[in-house]
Amino acid sequence: MAIKHWAVGGVVAVMVAVGAYVALNTGRAQAPASTFVLLDGTSKSTADLQGRVTLVNFWATSCTTCVAEMPEIVATYNKYNAKGFDTLAVAMSYDPPSYVVNFAETRKLPFQVAIDNTGGVAKAWGDVRLTPSTFIVNKRGEIVKTYVGAPNFPELHQLIEKLLAET
């Protein structure tokens, strides 16, 4: 019986520690230094994200949730872009480039799309393996929120509005 209480206490302590780390670390983690290779052959670096609130979305054409959420990501971009918001969609290394290009062109994605050919960008951003994984980066280049799976878009919009209002 004492061992069971000790184990439960240990689990609770770990959960509290993780929760405190997440709460204290929110808004403090710098986005990792990365170079994104865009569909047009140009590149963009993490440093280029500073000064704008940016949604960085790791996705794949084979991911049904990614495909399903893309219209909402487009709508979010269209709603906030003129106010200082940007979006960067990063296709996973296993996604065939021709599929990514076709997807971006047929759906007329209005934001920049990158292909992570080597998997290095996903690795740098916390070894992303699950798609969709979405990072919200503030104007100072800090990751303030991470979503694994489709975001709650009303909540996401509130966060974007708050971050856009910050100086």
Burial call 8-46: b when 16+ CB within 10 Å, e when fewer: eeeeeeeeeeeeeeeeeeeeeeebeebebbebeeeebeb
Does 16 have pLDDT greater than 70? no
Looking at residue 22, what is its pLDDT? Answer: 41
Whole-model pTM? Answer: 0.83
Looking at residue 139, what is its pLDDT? Answer: 96
Quote the mean pLDDT of the chain.
88
For the chain, percent of residues with pLDDT exceeding 90: 82
Determine if the peptide bond prior to 132 is cis (ω within 30°): yes
- Domain range annotation of the chain: 1-29, 31-165
Q: Taking Cα atoms as reference points, which of 106, 65, 110, 61 lies closest to residue 85?
A: 110
Q: Minimum mean pLDDT among 1-5, 17-21, 73-77, 122-126: which range?
A: 17-21
Instruction: Give residue 28's pLDDT band: very low, low, confident or very high (50, 70, 90).
Output: low
Helix (H) or strand (E) holding 35: strand 35-37
Cα 167 off chain centre by = 22
Q: Minimum mean pLDDT among 15-29, 40-54, 88-102: which range?
A: 15-29
* Averaged pLDDT, 120-146: 97
Does 3 have pLDDT greater than 70? no
Class of the CATH domain delimited by 31-165: alpha beta
